[in-house]
Amino acid sequence: MDLRVKRTTKNIKEAFLELRKKKNLDKISVKELSELAMINKATFYLHYRDIYELSDQLENELIDRIIAEIKPIAILNTKDSFRAFFRSLSMAIINNEEDIHILFSGYETNRFIDRFEARLKRFVFSAYPNIRNNSENNIFISFIVQGSFHAYMQNNKIDKSTIVDRTTDLTLKLAEEFTA
């Protein structure tokens, strides 16, 4: 890719994130973003159809980055392996908390966890294809991901490590009941 194109794309993304910190997605105009990125509107439209396509691309990049931070799944057949996986998953979300708040603030808050859950399921099911069509496994993953995320968001004043430890412990207890 041409260096000028990379620089322009980087400027557009940085300007978008700066505006997104202050405004809801539907309040950001291409004109405003272009001025901040020091480009003209036509240049913006060479790269993106509209603000929503740019936002969607940045959201996907963020979710990809979070998934990439999760330690690979080898075998999830012991408490220790499940604990390590869940801790890795939780820390990946916490490590990207600022970007999650920026991209998914306002009306978009719940979109993150819904999109993340879908991508995490693909990630888990690619490692364990035999559990893909099991409705109980799908429900369990949804419950754990959604519940843990909302527990964290509602209790974000508590030490992050404590939240990760408590949600991991609760998840392990639930998994024991689920598999009993």
User: At 20, which amino acid appears?
Assistant: R
Q: What average pLDDT does this structure show over 57-73?
A: 90
Higher model confidence: residue 64 or residue 144? 64
Angle between helical axes of 109-127 and 51-69 (0-180°, round to 10): 50
pLDDT 10s digits, 155-170: 878 888 898 888 888 8
Contact 28, 51 (CB under 8 A): yes
Contact 15, 37 (CB under 8 A): yes
Q: Using the 8-state DSSP alphabet, how is residue 161 labeled?
A: H
Angle between helical axes of 135-154 and 79-95 (0-180°, round to 10): 50
pTM equals: 0.86
Distance of CA 112 to the CA centre of its chain: 6
Contacts of 45 (CB under 8 A, 6+ apart): 30
| 57: pLDDT strictly greater than 80 | yes
Tell me which range, 71-85, 89-103, 131-145, is most confidently predicted by mean pLDDT: 89-103
Contact 25, 55 (CB under 8 A): yes
Q: CA-to-CA distance for 165 and 171, rounded, in angstroms?
A: 10
pLDDT at 103: 93
pLDDT at 75: 62
pLDDT 10s digits, 121-167: 998 888 888 878 888 888 888 988 898 888 888 887 888 889 888 88
pLDDT at 132: 83
Residue 28 CB burial class (10 angstroms; 0-12, 13-18, ≥19): buried
| 38: pLDDT strictly greater than 70 | yes
Contact 10, 1 (CB under 8 A): no
Higher model confidence: residue 138 or residue 18? 18
